Amino acid sequence: MELTDLKHSVETAEASALERLRGADSVDSVRRLENEVLGKQGSVGSLLGRMTEYPAEIRGQVGKLVNEAKTRIKEHFAAKLATIQSAASARDETEAKSIDPTLPAPVQPMGGVHPVTAVQWEIERLFERMGFTVEAGPEMESQYNNFEALNIPPTHPARDMQDTFWLKNGCVLRTHTSPVQHRSMKKFGAPLRVIAPGRCFRYETIDASHENTFHQVEGLLIDRNIGLPHLIALAKTLLTEVMKKEVKLRVRPGFFPFVEPGIEIDMDCQICGGRKCPTCKQSGWVEILPAGMVHPNVLRAGEIDPEEWSGFAFGLGLTRLAMMKFGIKDIRVLNSGDLRALAPPDRLSGTVIS
């Protein structure tokens, strides 16, 4: 190869390197480009490795030509690095001056427990103080425990009111927490004070106050000489404690196969203050606590003598109670993943999420 050809190659490689260097905007990109140009395999650096291609008498001139080009290119790279680093230092200094170290540090937003969980824990603590045991039952339940042990035989029309999700193994996704009544009676006998919070499933038409997945708290008290006044007093205490204020209750007859007599305990709607809204179906009241005296057939199924013992049971709508407590208009919010529903309770209380 002739010396003039080498000179042309060096000039071309140098011009290309300087053109690419103008576009580099970070220390990393400059370092990377420097290696591509001046490294052993680089466009300029590799020229020294081709010395054997030149006659011996001009190899000194070849080395001088390539090294001078490398020196010039290195100076350009050093200048570019100095410019980038100087600009970065100026930015850091400006940012440092803009920070007031006496100000509080930024606070990251924090979430909290789910509203339903928060109310569940509160109810559990309340009932434990009243001597109740907290029990749990499976969400996949036998049809005997879910229906027959609760005085709902296969042909009973009440099953149509609780159309549910049947599983291939013959079990059901429980339609209420009431099966824990039967399990607890078989486990503990009488006297008995137990609550059972948990998730339930029904084939529901979903609207502002109905979901196919919701939470209840089952309550059961069995002792001697128990009557409806005990039940109503307990309901009043429970709802007042959870809502942290006096609430209005409405007691009306209700039919449930596992209690006799059965009652519905409603509370005034906390969303609209009783003025009527979609959540309370324009009635001003929200059904919150279906209840009644335990049916003798249910006691017998639990191996408890109804001639000696009596008791009451209730199924508190835990999801609806959370809606009333925290001002959540639509029950669907609680299963939607809406992060506003996971704000800490002290910030969630009093807000309305539509």
Q: How many domains does the chain have?
A: 2
Which helix (H) or strand (E) segment is 146 a member of?
helix 143-146
Query: Could you please report the per-residue DSSP string of 152-170?
Result: --TT-THHHHT---B-TTS
Residues 6+ apart with CB under 8 A from 261: 228, 253, 292, 293
Whether residues 133 and 221 fall in one domain: yes
Whether residues 124 and 238 fall in one domain: yes
Residues 6+ apart with CB under 8 A from 32: none
Whether residues 19 and 161 fall in one domain: no
**Domain annotation covers residue 353:** no
Radius of gyration for the alpha carbons in the chain, expressed in angstroms and rounded = 39
Whether residues 207 and 295 fall in one domain: yes
The count of other CB atoms within 10 Å of the CB of residue 35 is: 13
**Domain annotation covers residue 22:** yes
Among 47, 65, 97, give the residue marking a domain's end: 97
Query: Could you please report the per-residue DSSP string of 49-70?
Result: GGGGGS-GGGHHHHHHHHHHHH
Please report, for the domain that includes residue 308, its CATH number: 3.30.930.10
pLDDT value for 139? 92
Q: Is the pTM of this model over 0.75?
A: no
**Domain annotation covers residue 106:** no
pLDDT value for 350? 42
**Domain annotation covers residue 102:** no
Query: 315 is in which domain, residue-wise?
Result: 115-348
* pLDDT tens digit sequence for 172-198: 899 899 999 999 999 999 999 999 999
Per-residue confidence in pLDDT tens, the chain, 354 aa = 566 767 777 777 777 777 777 777 788 887 887 777 777 666 766 666 666 666 777 767 767 777 777 788 788 778 878 888 887 777 776 666 677 778 787 777 666 778 888 899 999 999 999 999 999 999 999 989 999 999 988 887 766 666 678 889 989 899 899 999 999 999 999 999 999 999 999 887 777 767 788 899 999 999 999 999 999 999 999 888 888 888 888 999 988 888 999 999 988 888 787 788 887 888 888 888 889 999 999 999 999 999 999 999 999 888 888 888 888 878 888 877 777 666 655 545 444 444
Whether residues 128 and 85 fall in one domain: no
pLDDT value for 323? 83
**Domain annotation covers residue 209:** yes
What is the rounded CA–CA span in Å between residue 283 and residue 9? 91
Nearest CA-CA partner of 83 in 17, 19, 26:
26
Contact 173, 198 (CB under 8 A): no
pLDDT value for 54? 67
By three-state DSSP, how is residue 11 classified? helix
Whether residues 15 and 160 fall in one domain: no
Structural tokens at position 172: 């059901």
Q: 């010039």: which residue's tokens?
A: 72
What is the rounded CA–CA span in Å between residue 320 and residue 116? 9
Residues 6+ apart with CB under 8 A from 252: 263, 264, 266
Contact 308, 300 (CB under 8 A): no
pLDDT value for 163? 67
Whether residues 136 and 76 fall in one domain: no
